[in-house]
Amino acid sequence: MYLTMIGLEVHTHLTSLKTKLFCSCPSDYVGKPPNSNVCPVCLGLPGAIPVFNETALKFALMVGLALGSRISDRITFVRKHYFYPDMSKNYQISQYDGPGTEAVAMGGEVKLRDKKIRIRRINIEEDPAKSIYPTGSMLTSTYTMLDYNRSGVGMLEIVTEPDMSEPREAREFIEKLRSILEHLGVCDGSIEGAIRADANVSVEGGERVEVKNIGSAKDVESAITYEISRQRAAVSQGLGVRRETRHWDSERRVTVPLRTKETDEDYRYFPDPDLPPIQVTASLIEDIKSSMPELPDQRIQRFMAQYGINEYNATVLVMDKGLADFYERVTLHYNNYPKVASLLINDYLRWLNEKDMKISQSKAGPEQVAELLRMLENGTITIKIAKEFLPRMIYEGKSPRELMEATNMTALRDMTILEDIVNQVLAENPEVVKKAKADSKVIHFLVGQVMKKTGKRAEPETVYKLIEEKIARI
């Protein structure tokens, strides 16, 4: 078994910033006509002077404190040089932990279920422009167009130590980090491209390969899975793995070579003379500490204590802040809290995922979900009916009461009617009844027949018991 090492560099947009990192252009660039959200600073025109958006520092400090990092008392910005069409200045304003320069925070950790992933450092940096490939992909398009709307948007780069060893862990790391960022209110991870990652992967006997710019936690898992088997095969065939940068082709689900890796020397980092160092005062840190919101780990504990749900369910809810908020709103209207959790996790989420929807796009609000659960509890509808109503609530915005009236689907609560139907089914299937007497598994077939005749309006457990009693007496 080869030893595998995985380290991530996660780039997260600070989507809660109103303006870009060094100019007053709005940081919300999504959906705007190309190159309309720009000014001399973020276009990188000669002579334009950047002015630091101090809210970005506050956000970076919040993240650093949440991850238990050491906060630097002085931060500096550096110019990281490289030639690339998406960066007209030919350098990116970033941070670097080197002689005379400091990143905003160093160290820290993110706890996963059974492991701690150490953080190496946190940088504040600007995003480059977006390259558009009109006649294909990055590798096949015959020309490239540039949209500077995104250029200069504030980001944090969060770099881990190579502490992960499985693709699944990398995915969980990003999901957990995203939840932390969302609870801090600095990043809305559901915005397209708001969280991207570079994955560094090495296997025993080979050098490290960096896969650039992967767009989602799921794709990070897939890209790493692909890389590990590619690298293992290369090592075992004696070809070796050399240090390089690769690109994740999300269409073809493979990584392809991009270039051999630059080294730090190539970047010619030096302090940006336009941006003076910033003193991070103890009182600023104290202010931020005293106003820190509840974080995912605390929220999981609170959910278990306050709602009596198990750790697994609490974790699933809290890993998606929108879902956790929704859960708490349902509990205001309906107080069997574990039932709410299982409906959301087992059913509600499934229908959202089916159409790749975010919870904010669902048309079924907390009150409708609570109403559905109440109707189920007081026997107005059955679990089967509830499961049929749910997708129509989510996609069409119908209330469960409306659906009940429109479909005439209510629970069959009249026991004499139900008994009649059961008797009818038993009479129609004498052979099956004989078998069912010998083998109780066969009862399920009879239950199915009754369910059909009632139009799914009976509770299967009740029907089962009724049949069991009756055939015992036959």
| Residue carrying the six token digits 């139900």 | 418
145: left (phi over 0), alpha (psi -120 to 50) or beta: beta
Q: Among ligand ADP, Zn ion, none, what binds residue 39 when CB lies within 5 to 8 Å by partner kind? A: Zn ion
For residue 78, list its beta bridge partners: 94, 271
Binding site for Zn ion (CB under 5 A): 23, 25, 39, 41-42
Using CB under 6 A, which of 87, 93, 122, 159 touches ligand ADP? 159
CB neighbour list of residue 227: distance below 8 Å, 6 or more residues apart: 199, 201, 209, 211, 246, 255
Q: What does 25 bind: ligand ADP, Zn ion, none (CB cut-off 5 to 8 Å by kind)?
A: Zn ion
Determine how many CB atoms are found less than 10 A away from the CB of residue 261.
15
Among 5, 138, 285, 345, binds ligand ADP (CB under 6 A): 5
Nearer to ligand ADP, 98 or 365 (CB): 98
| Interface pick for ligand ADP out of 27, 160, 313, 315 (rule CB under 6 A) | 160
Residue 97 beta carbon to ligand ADP: minimum distance, rounded to whole angstroms: 9
From the list 77-85, 201-209, 243-251, 337-345, the region that binds ligand ADP by CB under 6 A is 201-209
Binding mask 206-235 for ligand ADP (x = CB under 6 A): --x---------------------------
Does position 167 bind ligand ADP by CB under 6 A? no
Binding partner at 42 among Zn ion, ligand ADP, none, C-beta below 5 to 8 Å by kind? Zn ion
CB of 260 to ligand ADP, least distance (A): 12
Please select the residue that binds ligand ADP; options are 68, 98, 162, 460, rule is CB under 6 A.
Answer: 162
Q: Which of 462, 406, 459, 469 is nearest to 436 (CA)?
A: 469
Of 39 and 278, CB closest to Zn ion? 39
CA distance 73 to 341: 43
Residue 107's SS3 state is coil
Residue with Cβ nearer ligand ADP (37 or 76): 76
- What b/e string do you get for 224-234 counting C-beta neighbours within 10 Å, with b at 16 or more? bbbbbebbbeb
Contact pick of 109, 161, 249, 325 for ligand ADP (by CB under 6 A): 161
Residue of 111, 170, 158 whose CA lies nearest to 297: 111
DSSP string, 310-357: -HHHHHHHHTSHHHHHHHHHHHTT---HHHHHHIIIIIIHHHHHHTT-
User: Hey, CA dihedral for 208, 211, 216, 219, is it positive or negative?
Assistant: negative
Q: How far is the CB of 331 from ligand ADP (least distance, A)?
A: 39
Give 334-341's long-range contacts (Cβ < 8 A, gap of 24+). 334/369, 334/370, 334/373, 334/374, 336/373, 336/377, 337/307, 337/308, 337/309, 338/307, 338/308, 338/309, 338/313, 339/373, 339/377, 340/307, 340/369, 340/370, 340/373, 341/307, 341/309, 341/313, 341/314, 341/317
Choice between 19 and 449, CB closer to Zn ion: 19
Which residue, judged by CB position, is nearest to ligand ADP in the bound state? 7
Nearest approach in angstroms of CB 152 to Zn ion is: 5
Decide whether 12 or 449 has the Cβ nearer to ligand ADP: 12
Residue closer to ligand ADP (CB basis): 8 or 42:
8
9 binds ligand ADP (CB under 6 A): yes
Closest contact distance (angstroms) between CB of 28 and Zn ion is: 13
| Window 119-158: contact mask with ligand ADP (x via CB under 6 A) | ----------------------------------------
34 near ligand ADP, rule: CB under 6 A: no
Distance CA 377, CA 364 (A): 19
Measured CA to CA, the distance from residue 293 to residue 184 in angstroms comes to: 6
Among Zn ion, ligand ADP, none, what does residue 9 contact (CB within 5–8 Å per kind)?
Answer: ligand ADP
The single residue among 23, 66, 119, 201 that binds ligand ADP, judged by CB under 6 A, is 201
Q: Are 87 and 290 a contacting pair, CB within 8 Å?
A: no
Angle between helix 400-407 and 383-396 (nearest 10): 110
* Interatomic CA distance for residues 148 and 127, integer angstroms: 10
472 is written with which tokens?
A: 């015992």
CB of 102 to ligand ADP, least distance (A): 15
Q: Which is nearer to ligand ADP, 197 or 352 (CB)?
A: 197
Q: The tokens of 63 are what?
A: 């993240």
Give the interface segment with ligand ADP, choosing from 1-9, 227-235, 299-307, 387-395 (CB under 6 A).
Answer: 1-9
Say which residue the tokens 């026997």 belong to.
379
Closest approach of ligand ADP to the CB of residue 262, in Å: 8
Query: Does 8 contact ligand ADP by CB under 6 A?
Result: yes
CB of 11 to ligand ADP, least distance (A): 12
Closer residue to ligand ADP (CB): 214 or 359? 214
Question: What residues line the site for ligand ADP (CB under 6 A)?
Answer: 5-9, 159-162, 200-202, 208
